[in-house]
A and B are shown apart, each in its own frame.
Chain A
Amino acid sequence: MELLDKLTILADAAKYDAACTSSGVGRAGRGGMGSALPAGCCHSFSADGRCISLLKVLMTNRCRYDCAYCVNRRSNDVPRAAFTPRELCELTMGFYRRNYIEGLFLSSAVLRDPDYTTEQMIAVLTLLREGCGFGGYIHAKAIPGADPLLTHRLGLLCDRLSVNIELPSQRSLALLAPDKTRASILGPMEQIRDGVARSRQELVRYRHAPRFAPAGQSTQMIVGATPETDLQILRLSQGLYRRYQLKRVFYSAYMPVSDSNLLPARQGFRPPLLREHRLYQADWLLRFYHFDAGELLDEDHPHFDPRLDPKCGWALRHPEFFPVEVNRADYEALLRVPGLGVTSARRILAARRAGPLTFEGLKTLGVVLKRARYFLTCSGRCAPGAARLRPEDLFFRLADPLPGQSAGALPGQLSLFPPAI
């Protein structure tokens, strides 16, 4: 088979993996080829607006498993292919030299058994790292069920390891992915967490200790294929961040790839992109804004309002927290103001040391006041027109109209004419 056809098949099979980040590790060039930037680097953006940073391919899409949600399941009739380690190594080096990519994202379907598949992946990475002196970024998927020693070897060759948790609950997993169990997914996650921690300790003592997955681990779950609520998903993410020290949890809106009667019907199904977007916003609040999953959602409101971003939603439910005084408030309080992010909050902290800030000054700093103006005071003054607004009024000013609806369709909009009784 031609290399071009293989690449087409195996990139097509890998495209539903959301992770394409190259962040978390800094490495200077070491004589061979390649370096890594701590902040990562996007090399292109595909037509769906997602970043392309790594050459994202599967080693093979010949799979033994039959997971209902997956495009590569055994029972699906798609063309199959497999890279040889040398082919994939040359392709990666050729792309990397031309600055097309930041590195390699290597995943695989389970060919024969998890051990054999992992060995194949190790062969590629060894060829790259040791044969070609490749110092770029490598993200590898750990295959659930593989021997822990093999996973360890894989971790020593790559920068980031990930195990997909696939679905947000054990019940859904048992229903849709009968070959995978919760234990077989969480087992490698634990192993990677401990491996990373041990490697960090060793590096403190010996400068040349081997580095195990220095950029940590990430995971991914599918949203919208099963009936879990946003609250359940967010609690799960928070648990993963805290207990397994994950760097990222990716959410992927379910794409109808199967006609299984366990899944939403393919006809007329629209992937829940807005829900995915709200989950990512909440995920950022967990990681960078010191929020807790229980603050954003509760049992009475288990889903996010699609018209409001999660932070605005929280702010409207907590009027007692506002207004926040720009010149006094600490970093945590500033981060809780809708419209203020990490960059703006840091700039405010730096600039107010030089003198008191006004709303004009905030604009000069580049702080976006569209939403923040309703929640801030500068030296005790509210923004013009923002004083004494009730939360209900604020809702109309902050809410986005839903796609396909005009702003007038918001519930609770006052009508000039009393309804006919």
Chain B
Amino acid sequence: MKKKPVRQVEITATDDGHCLSFHAMASPCEVLVVSKNNKLALTLGKLVADEVWRIEDKYSRYQASSVCSAINNSGGQALAIDQETYLLLNFAETCYQLSNGVFDITSGVLRQVWQFDGSDNIPHDTEVQKSLENIGWHKIAFDEQQIIMPDNMALDFGGIGKEYAVDRAMIIANEFTQLPLLVNLGGDLAANKPRKTNVPWQVGIEHPGFIERKPMVVSLLKGALATSGDAKRFLFKDNVRYSHILNAKTGWPVVQAPRSITVVAPQCIQAGILATLALMQGPQAEKFLTEQEIKFWAIR
């Protein structure tokens, strides 16, 4: 077991403000704020980190005390949920509908048969079909008060949790200050306003796994960026590269998808879903985004 990282916020000065860094959701995280006031910056950093850690504690499937674990261990019984969980489930439902079932937060059980370790270890289709029996958003019943999930199924908020945390962190930060700031949780990020009038934030997007590539620098006045894709997590057999993006309907990875897609949207969770939905289009990924008039960067 890896040792749990210490929950603390570190402050460093930047050219025109401060950077607050912390570790959450298995990623390096930072808040950039245009303020010379280090007390204010540190308070802001702690507010943001607390919110991100709160969401991590509440929705991580790795934490036994999380709401996610409670749902996953509910054994088919009705479980009371709060408003926030209800809203997240509602959002997941919308994504399921918009993707015709390809995006499904119950598809996490497929990880038991798919291990994307760069090998040629492709599972047998009978294993995949068996897993599919425990997948299917439509089998879940929920309303504002409770959720009923069949036994042996599991929710995984991993596909939306970090992006949601960016948006929530931004809300918390904006309640605290109106200074220009940027929240970056391991590459999924959002900015509330330009760094200065007409001066955008310069953001280096590191594509996980692309060791040889220099981070791509993009300019962002305001809004959010999210990246989907991971160059390290794939399988390769018979000249076919299987990405770690799984189609929840077939149980098989999407082929011929870009290795990584970065999307711009007003909110981070939107950007994240659009990037993931695009990857699920495989060879049509870029076309899908272009048709929707969405600003993006793709790496093949």
Answer yes or no: do A and B interact.
no
Q: Which residues of A contact B (CB under 8 A)?
A: none
